[in-house]
Amino acid sequence: MITSQLRTSGVNEPWVLAAMAGIAREDFVPETMRDAAYIDRAIPLGNGRSLAAPLVQAKMLAEAEPTAQDKALLIGDGAGYLAALLRPLVGSLDAVDPAEAGAMAGEGGYTLVVIDGAIEELPAGIAAQLAENGRIVTGLMVRGVSRLASGRKAAGVVSLLPLAEIGIPALPELAAPKRWSF
Find, among 50, 43, 54, the residue nearest to 6 by Cα: 54
In terms of DSSP bridges, do strands 43-46 and 157-165 run parallel, antiparallel, or are they unpaired? unpaired
DSSP string of 154-167, one letter each residue:
ETTEEEEEEEEE--
pLDDT tens for 143-168 read 889 999 999 999 999 999 999 999 99
Q: Domain spans of the chain? A: 2-172
3-state secondary structure of 28: helix
Higher pLDDT, 2 or 54: 54
What Å distances lie between residue 9 and 5, 6, 41, 148, CA to CA? 6, 5, 14, 14
Q: What is the mean pLDDT of residues 91-116?
A: 92
How many angstroms separate the CA atoms of 113 and 126, rounded?
8
Burial-class residue 85 by CB neighbours within 10 Å (0-12, 13-18, 19+).
buried
3-state secondary structure of 56: helix
For the range 94-98, what are the long-range contacts, defined as Cβ-Cβ under 8 Å and sequence gap of 24 or more? 98/171, 98/173, 98/174
Residue 48 scores a pLDDT above 70: yes
pLDDT tens for 116-130 read 999 998 999 999 999
Q: Which CATH architecture has domain 2-172?
A: 3-Layer(aba) Sandwich (3.40)
